[in-house]
A = this chain, B = another copy of it.
């Protein structure tokens, strides 16, 4: 296929998109979204067109829908919703990218993404190897959640062999990675997840030492039972009451890695602050935020390490793949907040 052969075909293609129509209050509804279609945009000189194959669903998306200062600009009203994805280059006039290349990047919730050379950089487009791991794994263990868990645990958490690591959202994309990497570091690993199926998965398939089902009983009792030596690292994906409970069980010089607060993202009133934060004082402990983009220069090193552990059978990447195309995005996103996903949630858009 020559570099320009497919350009003529692009005019035949319709691009289905999901745009942010209104900023949500609480849990997003269909009123917050607009479904649009338009012809695929022609690439400019040195641009590319990517056909999106899978879209990543991330709790952080809820924050991107809000107005106001954060670690990244909000999605503009009327804009295609921001999303990471994997896809295939179907047109290119850029010598660095060949038609047929598999790539990951922030392609948005749409079927096709036309990128200028500037946009290629801005979207963080990277070549991926679908031969070394399934496509969906490039949105999970080898993608942003994997990078978040890897650097958040190792660089912010600084685990030492023999320490006890607790992670909430344990069956989720980041939680899986944190627990498995902590185990590889020689830590005792205790997950917190909702429901027996997730807890069983985390213990039996991912090799956590224990998992506390917060829907079935008291998290405090679970921590007492499963963390007899206290908690040295708590990797928090949920915030709210669970954060407060873990704060009562931390050890001297514990590290609390603040990665997310999914229990609070749809709060219509104030975020619930950790009322037990003075445990940081009593225990000379540290609470610190992680944003994965800070570690971008070291993604290749992490991908190589994690892919190696996967090949050796020491680390799994479990995805929950939904069919149905971009139209199903609104429903899929809300599954994250109701806890219906089992593993990293991914929306399949094309084969």
Contact = CB atoms under 8 A, between A and B. Distances in A.
A145 interface: no
Interface string A258-284: 111100100000111111111011111
User: Is the interface on chain A under 10, 10 to 19, 20 to 34, or 35 or more residues?
Assistant: 20 to 34
Interface string A18-46: 00000000000000000000000000000
Interface string A264-308: 100000111111111011111111111100100000000000000
B287 A277 contact: yes
A17 to B, nearest CB: 28
A259 B277 CA distance: 12
A71 to B, nearest CB: 5
A200 interface: no
A95 interface: no
A259 B278 CA distance: 9
A284 B275 contact: no
A291 B282 contact: yes
A101 interface: no
A59 to B, nearest CB: 12
B271 A276 contact: yes
Contacts of A259: 281
Contacts of A281: 71, 258-261, 289-291
A280 B290 CA distance: 8
Contacts of A271: 275-278
A96 interface: no
A287 B284 contact: no
Interface in A224-273: 239, 244, 258-261, 264, 270-273
A262 to B, nearest CB: 12
B290 A278 contact: no
Contact of A273 (B69, B275, B282): B275
19 contacts: A239-B278, A260-B281, A261-B278, A271-B276, A271-B278, A272-B275, A273-B273, A273-B274, A274-B277, A277-B287, A278-B289, A280-B287, A280-B289, A281-B290, A281-B291, A282-B291, A285-B288, A286-B287, A286-B288
